[in-house]
Amino acid sequence: MPATADLEFLSVPREPSTGDTGRAASLISETEHRFRVHTAAYTKAEVLELEQQHIFRRAWCYVGHESELTKAGDFKTGHIGDQPILVTRSEDGGIHVMLNRCPHRGAVLCREPGGNRRALICPYHAWTFAIDGRLVSVTGRDDASGYSEFFEAPEGLYRVPRIETYRGFVFATLDAKAPALLDSLGRAKILIDRKLNQSPNGTLTIRSKPYVGIYEGNWKFHAENIIDGYHFMYTHQSFVKLQNKFGDTTGDFGVHKGGSASEMKKIRTRGSVWGCEGGHILNQKPAIDTQEMLSGPFAEYYQSIEKLYGAEEFQWIFGSNAGCIFPNFGMIHNQIRTWRPIAPDKTEVRIYLYDLDGAPPAFNEGMLRSQERFYGPSGHGMPDDIEIFAANQQGLSASQLEWLILERGMAAEKPLGDGDIEGLPSSETGHRAFWRAWRRSLSSGSGQ
């Protein structure tokens, strides 16, 4: 632990004061052999407000995929932290990200998840905006009770200042001075590359509207858990037993490999975790059955991918790869996942299932069935995780025990360069990288 003098404000009251970024950063206690996070980092409204200001409004946040916006007039709604946004495709093919708020009286323009419109019309007073956000008309502007010649009409909707895409993934930031997206992604872009390289075309298509869920816990539990290799055999015990008895016969499609619990544990402890300087986390396990893939029912498909990338990279492309792109974006199996804080103890999660373009239809269908089996509304895995998040949040009310322990695997880490660290697959290497980026964001006021 740090010297007592470093945390004097912990004495009265017992938890740190969180009214400024410097003190909020002290919610992490790190030495050579210890790493602790204070309970208040998950529970205090003051911390969440700082996160909104210095993380979500500064970092590159995933806002959509180009396959969701294929035609002029297509739009989707979403959030950057607590800021409601619209993502649109205009007539010239451009993608635009704007705040979903009429500049007149503040009403949101679109409330549905997505669709297609010729124009964006405010439901309150029918101010009309082009699909790219330009103000087109103000109703009753020339009426006797309308606007005078001195009226300064806004140009249109507020445009998010920076938009960049990587292989069809659309990211945006409210910070005009943020570093370039690729610089921010760093080594973590390998996650996107390997997922897309499963497609013979190198692309994917979002399959449907998202599955949306809300859980009673802090958003950071989800960011940590999507790559947590430690919890699976314990949190998902009922699924492990189901897999042991029935295997793939109920639709797993080989996603969760291993017949017995011991075999599954052995498979899940392969590979490594990368904790990246930008707060991104990758949990990677190479495929173990490549020869079976190359000679099985989808042999031609698999062989085409191996020919493109080589035998060594092939086993990583079709391994078990999951990741968290700091702060709000995850990929696992054939799904894209986003999360946003609603309150310190309430989080919304959106899950988007996708098809690999050019892959056999039966392969995409099989992956969809596996998602339903584990992650869907009636699946086995998602209810387990949500229950744990709620249990965590409930337990944090026991605030006399101040610090959470994130020290698993510290002694076995190796530097990768550029501040990135490699750890063992069930270590908390990625968790620590996430929290270090969190601390830097709150300390410096910059996103990453």
Predicted confidence band of residue 264 (pLDDT cuts 50, 70, 90): confident
**Domain assignment of residue 391, yes or no:** yes
Judgement on whether residues 86 and 158 belong to the same structural domain of the protein: yes
CATH number, domain with residue 370? 3.90.380.10
Q: What is the tens place of the pLDDT at every residue in 77-96? A: 999 999 999 999 999 999 99
Judgement on whether residues 153 and 195 belong to the same structural domain of the protein: no
Phi, psi of 65 (to 5 degrees): -125, 145
Cβ neighbours of residue 340 under 8 Å, at least 6 residues apart?
Answer: 56, 79, 81, 82, 219, 328, 347, 348
Put simply, whether the predicted model's pTM sits higher than 0.85 gets the answer: yes
Phi, psi of 171 (to 5 degrees): -120, 150
Count of beta carbons in the 10 Å neighbourhood of residue 250? 13
- What distance in Å separates the CA atoms of residue 388 and residue 344, rounded to the nearest whole number? 16
Name the percent of the chain lying above pLDDT 70: 94
Name the percent of the chain lying above pLDDT 90: 77
Q: For 371, what's the count of Cα atoms within 13 Å in the CB-facing half-sphere?
A: 21
Predicted confidence band of residue 375 (pLDDT cuts 50, 70, 90): confident
- Domain total for the chain? 2
Interhelix angle 261-268/237-246, nearest 10 degrees? 110
Domain of residue 347, residue span: 186-444
Would the pLDDT of 274 be above 70? yes
Judgement on whether residues 390 and 345 belong to the same structural domain of the protein: yes
What ranges in 30-96 are assigned the alpha helix state H? 40-43, 45-51
In contact, 58 and 178? CB cutoff 8 Å? yes
Judgement on whether residues 333 and 412 belong to the same structural domain of the protein: yes
Work out the mean pLDDT of the chain and round it to a whole number. Answer: 91
Q: What is the tens place of the pLDDT at every residue in 96-115? A: 999 999 999 999 999 999 99
- Give me the pLDDT at residue 416, please: 96
- Give me the pLDDT at residue 241, please: 87
Would the pLDDT of 255 be above 90? no
- Give me the pLDDT at residue 251, please: 80
The last residue of one of the domains, among 134, 164, 194, is 164
Higher local confidence (pLDDT), 2 or 177: 177
Mean pLDDT value across residues 236-256: 85
Judgement on whether residues 194 and 231 belong to the same structural domain of the protein: yes
Cβ neighbours of residue 401 under 8 Å, at least 6 residues apart?
Answer: 39
Mean pLDDT value across residues 371-377: 85
Token couple for 336: 């894209």
Would the pLDDT of 8 be above 90? no
Token couple for 301: 């498909």
Judgement on whether residues 127 and 249 belong to the same structural domain of the protein: no
- What distance in Å separates the CA atoms of residue 77 and residue 253, rounded to the nearest whole number? 32
Phi, psi of 363 (to 5 degrees): -70, -50
